[in-house]
Chain A
Amino acid sequence: MSFDIAKQSIDYILSNPELFNEPSVEFDFIGGEPLMEVKLIDRICDYLKSQMYKRNHKWFNSYRFCFATNGLLYSSKDVQEFINKNHTHLSIEITIDGTKAKHDLNRIYKDGRGSYEDVVKNIPLWLEQFPDCGTKVTISHADLPYVCESVMHLFSLGIKVVNINVVFEDVWVDGDDKIFETQLLNLADKIIDNNLYENCVCSFFVENIGKPMDQILDNGNWCGSGKMLSIDAAGNFYPCTRFAQYSLREKKCVIIGNCVDGIDSNKLRPFLTLDRTTQSPQKCIDCEVASGCAWCQGENYDAADTDTIYQRSTAICKMHKARVRANNYYWNKLFRKLELEGRREEYNATHKKQTEKPC
């Protein structure tokens, strides 16, 4: 992205506060690897801050710059300078896939060397600077046998929050749900038996998932697409980056405007009126364990039989059901243990009830 495109986009966003009426904002820089362009990002952030100040914009002092990075450049001079300059308004997530063996399967340099060692050496500095930031892990078919050891490894590195989910794409084969469930049951035992639940969080285990959902009261959309704006290097606007051409398999990208002409609000209407039941097949409406079963609007669109965001993909169905079973086990086991130790009330008082965070 050129600075000019970024500037035009910022000017458009800040000059149309009625279109962006949230009290706060997150600016998320997405790569490839965003920190490779930290100088450009720094310039963009400076421009943003100065404009919010000049315009007396409500977001001045209520903004955040967010990054998901592979962590390789984390300790470099440029990145550290950027962090020091913006620290109070930054969230940085370093992505590690798990153990060295697991991480180096996919995350390699051009010459084939694994990148694990180079990332891990930056973890202590990152945790010192952002002790509350978590890491994000995405599980696909090949990752299933490593779920438990990967999460445990991340905890052992000192990372306290592991945000983890299975991919929404239709990659699952027969038996995957069994493997997944076994992995999660092992993980549940390890977290509880080693008292890791005191300080660590793995987002697979959430107390209130796996319940039927009310058709009227519980009819919101899961996915946040359309409530955010994604901007590509050419200045095109998307309801989420998953709708850009580079993210889609066969479908045509969904452009909802650009930094010159602004947003075509008609193109946003389907996103803003989308609800759970209208897009769901009957099996999901009737589902006994529906709560927490997520979807990605971009994947729904990509997988749909027609060019629509109104056809929910249920590729994760059996994986969600496996997760629900393991999740039930986790909470039953944990609460029983706490009760036997007379610590249930103390736990309730000191731990926020985890809720599933929509995308």
Chain B
Amino acid sequence: MLKYLIIPLANDAVSFCHYERGNASDRLIDIDMLKKAIFWAMTENVNVQFVYPDKEMPSEYKPVIDTIDHAKIVSSHCEDKVLTDEADIVVFDGWNDLDAFKCQSGKSYVVRTDKSGLFDNADVFKSLFPKLDRLVVVITDIDKFQESDFQKYEALLNAMIPIIKEEYGKGHSLHFNLLTDRMFLDKMNNCNAGDETITLAPDGKFYICPAFYLDGSKAVGDMETGLDIKNRQLYRLDHAPICRKCDAWQCRRCVWLNRKTTLEVNTPSHEQCVVAHIERNASRRLLEEIRTLGEFLPENEIKEIDYLDPFEIIKQ
């Protein structure tokens, strides 16, 4: 069931996920289209998330945007500093400005990084964890991971465990997607683009997610004719033969990356699965560590497993 509508307000609205943001052109969503989209969201009863470009939005858009309750996704580089302060999610492209940024409690911060940026900046995490409540790291080149990267990734997450444990020991229940999300979950919690989330792009058409708009994929409907997602079942977990057997519940299960790597939206790559299982297994160790401090999530067990890619169990 559809729950969220993402509206990138311009072609170069910030990317908060695996895809690269669009070119810096001035293609703003047409204001009348925006009004229609907001009306549509109200009638369909879906939550709206506006994704902003770095350039300040023209003043006539602001009152329109405010006609609906919404979440704001904003870049750390946004010209409009008031907006950055008000944002629900602030996105950093890389690690450069993170140190100096004044994080606010209760807010989510997304860091987009490639694997080498991640491995080179492990220390930055340590300084960040005490400062914020929710950190989401998006690795932009998961599909390029190789065997040696898997090992580095595991080592990196292992190194984070004592630091996060320390935060929990201090009573700071920090959320860090790569390590803590899995501990709190009891079922899949994925991106769900195409199933629970849909995007209305600046061209006034619906797309599975902003990445599908930016890579030139076919639209899945428009404001006039409504949503028309062909083979919509393939975006659901029950039609994903590998994922439905999996318990790396924190995995983003990115349908766009799936299509890019395996040509099918319902089938993840080997790299995606192994990365998610390294996180899952590190979460298991973190959970055990936190429990040495006292009772913690007694209902939630993460089983020990002997595979990193559920494809292996299916093949057997």
Residues of A within 8 A of B (CB): 254, 265-267, 269-270, 272-275, 278, 304-311
Q: Is B314 an interface residue (CB 8 A)?
A: yes
Contact of A269 among B231, B265, B270 (CB under 8 A): B270
B262 touches A304 (CB 8 A): no
B230 touches A310 (CB 8 A): no
Q: How far is the CB of B278 from chain A (nearest CB, A)?
A: 18
Enumerate chain A residues within 8 angstroms of B269, measured Cβ to Cβ. 266, 269
B231 touches A308 (CB 8 A): yes
A310 touches B234 (CB 8 A): yes
Closest 6 CB pairs of A and B: A305-B230, A270-B264, A273-B241, A270-B267, A266-B269, A266-B261
Q: List 7 A-B contacts (CB under 8 A).
A: A266-B261, A270-B267, A272-B314, A273-B267, A274-B241, A305-B231, A311-B231
Q: How far is the CB of A35 from chain B (nearest CB, A)?
A: 35
Q: Is B242 an interface residue (CB 8 A)?
A: yes
In whole angstroms, what is the CA distance A267 to B262 when docked? 4
Chain B interface residue count: which class? 20 to 34
Query: Which residue of B has the minimal Cβ distance to A254?
Result: B263
In whole angstroms, what is the CA distance A310 to B261 when docked? 16
Interface of B is mostly: loop
A265 touches B270 (CB 8 A): yes
In whole angstroms, what is the CA distance A278 to B271 when docked? 23
In whole angstroms, what is the CA distance A278 to B242 when docked? 11
Contact of A273 among B230, B234, B242, B270 (CB under 8 A): B242
1/0 contact string of B251-281 vs chain A (CB within 8 Å)? 0000000000111111111110000000000
A308 touches B264 (CB 8 A): yes
1/0 contact string of B234-255 vs chain A (CB within 8 Å)? 1000010110000000000000
Say whether, besides A266-B262, A269-B267, A270-B264, A275 and B241 are in contact (CB < 8 Å): yes
**Most chain-A Cβ atoms within 10 A of its Cβ — which of B242, B263, B315?**
B263
Q: Is B311 an interface residue (CB 8 A)?
A: yes
Enumerate chain B residues within 8 angstroms of A272, measured Cβ to Cβ. 311, 314-315
B270 touches A310 (CB 8 A): no
Enumerate chain A residues within 8 angstroms of B265, measured Cβ to Cβ. 308
Query: Which residue of A has the minimal Cβ distance to B245?
Result: A273
